[in-house]
């Protein structure tokens, strides 16, 4: 048995005969802190992290829940965006991902995984802080996928600062443009192409309702994201388009090692949760699938949390 097959077996992939999945203890399923100190320049690469995050590369098994669907995911190279891209492809969807040029190495891995499932994988690098690029991004995705019915607004900027006095106007503007302006521009551009039955999924955070003092600007943007989910869901309900959000707790992604967490916080990252560890992006993949699946058609304006026992939604 090859290593990947062994890992799939350990993680409980069912067989055609209906074999039961093996139970796993969530407290020991993934690495626990302390982690070694590490730093990467923004925006960071998952492929260079230790331990390397699990996005479901070998563990996620699909069952055709999104067959024929067409998805655009911002920040699709790593973190929750990558986990969603892998899961969507394995559920039968074609997927376009957006990312920064510096993240090309991670994006190449994601596109290869999507195409390995026999699905169309479209790579669209670019900076979503520019309104013109956001419009081009959507147009490119719609043309390449021959339509669009799932939009995952996931890309985000997070930088830790001990004091508001350390945040420059330029840094504040960078966070706001990435986390608030870009979803506004992208959703506006996408809506004319999204038919009834489509869905929008936004990645918010536990920071939206339980902010830490070192993420003053980031936490504001995630509260805004949570709010736009609830507002836009009401606005688009009559058009048959659902809008929901996912609120992760501490999840091990490049955000943490590229300035999103101070060295001491990074060392003990996730240790404060009842599980005593951070989550891995792959543990949230099923939430994005559930929110995209037409079988969840009565869910709109909802925030689905996943924070190891310490969250509110």
Of the candidates 300, 311, 308, 264, the residue with the CA atom closest to the CA atom of residue 29: 308
Give 11's contacts (C-beta < 8 A, 6+ positions apart): 22, 24, 58, 59
DSSP category for residue 293: S
Residue environment code for 34-49, b if the CB has 16+ CB neighbours within 10 A, otherwise e? ebeeeebebbbbbeeb
Catalytic residues: 218
The CA distance from 68 to 120, in Å, is 11
The CA distance from 299 to 294, in Å, is 10
> Is the distance from CB of 37 to CB of 254 less than 8 angstroms?
no
Q: Which two tokens stand for residue 25?
A: 């203890």
Backbone angles phi, psi at 199, to 5 degrees: -145, 150
Q: Outline where DSSP puts E strands in the chain.
A: 70-74, 94-99, 121-125, 150-153, 199-203, 242-248, 303-306
Of the candidates 88, 79, 71, 192, the residue with the CA atom closest to the CA atom of residue 122: 71
The CA distance from 250 to 265, in Å, is 11
Tracing tokens 């419009």 back to the chain, one arrives at 135
Tally Cβ neighbours within 10 Å of residue 247. 27
């Amino acid at each position: 048995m090859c290593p990947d097959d062994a890992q799939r077996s350990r993680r409980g992939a069912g067989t055609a005969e209906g074999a039961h999945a093996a139970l796993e203890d969530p407290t020991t399923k993934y690495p626990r802190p302390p982690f070694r100190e590490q730093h990467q320049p923004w925006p960071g690469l998952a492929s260079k992290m230790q331990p390397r995050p699990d996005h479901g590369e070998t563990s996620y098994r699909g069952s055709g829940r999104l067959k024929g669907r067409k998805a655009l995911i911002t920040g699709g190279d790593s973190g929750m965006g990558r986990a969603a891209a892998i899961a969507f492809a394995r559920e039968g969807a074609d997927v376009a991902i957006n990312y920064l040029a510096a993240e090309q190495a991670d994006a190449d891995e994601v596109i290869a995984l999507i195409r390995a499932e026999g699905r169309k994988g479209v790579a669209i690098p670019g900076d979503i802080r520019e309104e013109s690029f956001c419009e081009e991004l959507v147009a490119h995705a719609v043309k390449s996928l021959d339509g669009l019915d799932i939009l995952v607004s996931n890309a985000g900027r997070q930088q830790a600062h001990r004091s508001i006095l350390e945040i420059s106007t330029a840094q504040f503007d960078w966070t706001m443009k990435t986390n608030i302006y870009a979803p506004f521009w992208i959703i506006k551009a996408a809506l004319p192409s999204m038919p009834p039955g489509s869905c929008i999924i936004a990645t918010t955070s536990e920071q939206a309702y339980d902010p830490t003092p070192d993420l003053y600007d980031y936490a504001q943007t995630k509260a805004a994201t949570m709010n736009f989910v609830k507002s836009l869901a009401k606005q688009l309900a009559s058009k048959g388009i659902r809008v929901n959000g996912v609120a992760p707790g501490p999840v091990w992604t490049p955000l943490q090692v590229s300035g999103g967490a101070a060295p001491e916080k990074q060392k003990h990252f996730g240790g404060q949760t009842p599980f005593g560890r951070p989550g891995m992006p792959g543990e949230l993949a099923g939430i994005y699938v559930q929110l995209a699946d037409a079988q969840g058609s009565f869910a709109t304006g909802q925030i689905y949390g996943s924070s190891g026992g310490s969250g509110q939604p």
